[in-house]
Amino acid sequence: MNPEPPEDARAEEGRPIGRRVFLGTLALGALTVAAAPALQRGTETFLGAASGKDPTGLTGLLPNGGGFRYYSVAASVPHRGPADYRLTIGGLVDRPRTYSLADLRALPQTRLVKDVQCVTGWRVPGTPFEGVRLSRLLDAAGVRGTARAIRFTCFDGTYTESLTLDQARRPDVLVALRMQDEDIGHDHGGPVRLYVAPMYFYKSAKWLSGITVTDRVEPGYWEHLGYDVDAWVGRSNGRTDEPTN
């Protein structure tokens, strides 16, 4: 009956580190509450969260209860900032281009406030994201007639994502510079991440460094491991979450 992503994929995204942090929080009190996010960051590989499968049902008591978990499939990720961040747009375009952070900041910014929904079950209501519409960058690059899809790459050297060209042109898809009304920090994929508002959060590639226009969809990192390529919230991955808008 259940077309959910395979156990191995979910086990990795929601690895039990989150449970250990949670139990430590209960045992050791406020000091551990403060330390838990640092522990999660320090553990970087497959940072986990108590997932929708958490049998305790007490995840709301976590220091980030109702908040974000930090995920990275890469063991370590270099830090990039105004001096060395670059975003390259290429592939099936007439005008390939590399943007600096200043270039992106100089373009018109769009702010959206919607819920974030991870496919493992956690949801963060009313989260502001702000950045440049992907459609603007695509128009500036001059997408060729044979193009059908986008491939996203990341400076963690590992993660990839994809969208069809139609999906990429939606007004609620951003190359995001800000999240929760702050510049996106390293842990959340800063200085620049993708934000695909209507889809599960795995589409929102962190540490975005490459946008390649292609003639077909190439499934991304989690999609190779069983997640749906078309990741509409509530209409994919066997889940029935409320849409995020």
Choose one: 104-112, 138-146, 151-159, 165-173; the region binding ligand MTE (CB under 6 A). 151-159
Give which of 175, 180, 184, 164 is closest to 87, Cα–Cα.
Answer: 175
Q: How far is residue 6's CA from residue 77's CA, in Å, rounded to a whole number?
A: 26
Residue in 207, 210, 228, 231 binding ligand MTE, rule: CB under 6 A: 207
Contacts (CB under 6 A) with ligand MTE, residues 161-200 = 188-189
8 Å CB contact between 82 and 99: no
8 Å CB contact between 26 and 62: no
Long-range contacts of residues 3-6, Cβ cutoff 8 Å, at least 24 apart: 3/237, 3/238, 4/237, 4/238, 4/239, 5/119, 5/222, 5/225, 5/226, 5/227, 5/228, 5/237, 5/238, 6/225, 6/226
Q: How far is residue 72's CA from residue 74's CA, in Å, rounded to a whole number?
A: 5
Residue in 101, 154, 173, 176 binding ligand MTE, rule: CB under 6 A: 154
- Which of the choices ligand MTE, Mo ion, none does residue 189 contact, using the CB cut-off of 5 to 8 A by kind? ligand MTE
Contacts (CB under 5 A) with Mo ion, residues 170-209 = 201-202
Complex with Mo ion: residue 152 or 202, whichever CB lies closer: 202
Asked if 118 touches Mo ion (CB under 5 A), the answer is: yes
- Which of the choices Mo ion, ligand MTE, none does residue 51 contact, using the CB cut-off of 5 to 8 A by kind? none
Q: Which residue has the tokens 């499934």?
A: 219
Q: How far is residue 49's CA from residue 45's CA, in Å, rounded to a whole number?
A: 12
Least CB distance from residue 132 to ligand MTE, whole Å?
A: 18
Contacts (CB under 6 A) with ligand MTE, residues 61-100 = 68-73
Least CB distance from residue 144 to ligand MTE, whole Å?
A: 27
Complex with Mo ion: residue 22 or 201, whichever CB lies closer: 201
- Token pair listed for 106: 């100089």
User: DSSP character for 243?
Assistant: P
Least CB distance from residue 4 to ligand MTE, whole Å?
A: 15
Q: Contact positions toward Mo ion, by CB under 5 A? A: 118, 201-202
Q: Contact positions toward ligand MTE, by CB under 6 A? A: 13, 68-73, 118, 154, 156, 159, 188-189, 201-202, 204-207
